[in-house]
Amino acid sequence: MAAEVAVRHGGSRPLTNPEHRLHYETFEGDGPPCLFVHGMLSSGAQWHANLDALSAVVTPVVVELWGHGRSPSPIAPGDYEPRGYLEALDRVRRELGAERIYLCGQSFGATLTLRYALEHPSRVAAQVFTNSVSALASDEWVEEVRANSEERALALERGGHSAILKMPIHPRFAMRLDPHSFRLLNEDAKLLSPAGLAMTVRHTVPAASLRHRLADNTVPTLLVCGRLERAFQPLASWAENHLPFLETVGLEAGHAVNLQSPDEFNRAVIDFFGRHPL
């Protein structure tokens, strides 16, 4: 299996400044690098059901967000701001020695991969993303998040891991996951950093929405949409009407579409990347 032949980078070797490096793992594959970026309260385990199949067309590079999985929790706000994340992701690309890459963003991770493609379109051959309320969020959503971000960050700092367990998006509340995926994500959830999540809530989430920038997209883009997440469907329709170079594949799955319908997800991504060679 691809997951058993991982070549670890980032957090698994001596670093001069580990606080400023995202942890990532490079898996064996028969194609160009593709950065896989998970969502909030998830980890690299988000992709365990996809790597074997997708390694036939790309070299998977699984990245973990600040404060998640094996990535550190920097103390500088700039690391969590979009520009800091873009630099961290571009460092991964440079360390891979790749001029161009593929991208795949899940949920909140899509806010970062889509932004990277907007800022550096010449470095991205094609990109895939899944249901992401934050990436497509309305002005009203942004205002509500900004109004409550400090309160939510303080709750995480004061409550620690108990506060994380209460978050509605914690994987322990996931209803549609198979037992193996449920176990993997909940094991990695023990690694979540309250400090890192608090910084994310303060500095990353309020700047997540790309609604007013997506019309500038020039990169071939695939949305693999979990149709059972009804709250996301109006946003998916909005993207189809406003995001250039977008294709959409709808699957009978919920928010974690790549885990709930892995075979269909893998086929859609393989077909899409195959039609957009590096």
The secondary element (H helix, E strand) that includes residue 250 is: strand 246-251
pTM of the model: 0.93
In a domain, 169, yes or no: no
By DSSP bridging, strand 59-63 and strand 24-26 are antiparallel
In a domain, 157, yes or no: no
Mean pLDDT (10-residue bins), the chain, 278 residues: 41 41 96 98 98 98 98 96 97 98 98 98 98 98 97 98 98 96 98 98 98 98 98 98 98 98 98 96
Q: What is the pLDDT of residue 14?
A: 29
Q: In total, how many domains does the chain have?
A: 1
How far lies 210's CA from each of 111, 193, 194, 201, 250, in Å? Answer: 7, 26, 26, 17, 21
Closest of 53, 11, 40 to residue 27, by C-alpha: 53
Q: What is the pLDDT of residue 20?
A: 75
In a domain, 80, yes or no: yes
Say which CATH number the domain at 39 has. 3.40.50.1820
In a domain, 151, yes or no: no
In a domain, 48, yes or no: yes
Q: What is the pLDDT of residue 60?
A: 98
In a domain, 15, yes or no: yes
In a domain, 173, yes or no: no
Cβ 265 vs Cβ 224: under 8 Å: yes
Residue-range definition of the domain harbouring residue 220? 2-140+208-274
In a domain, 174, yes or no: no
Closest of 17, 73, 23 to residue 43, by C-alpha: 23
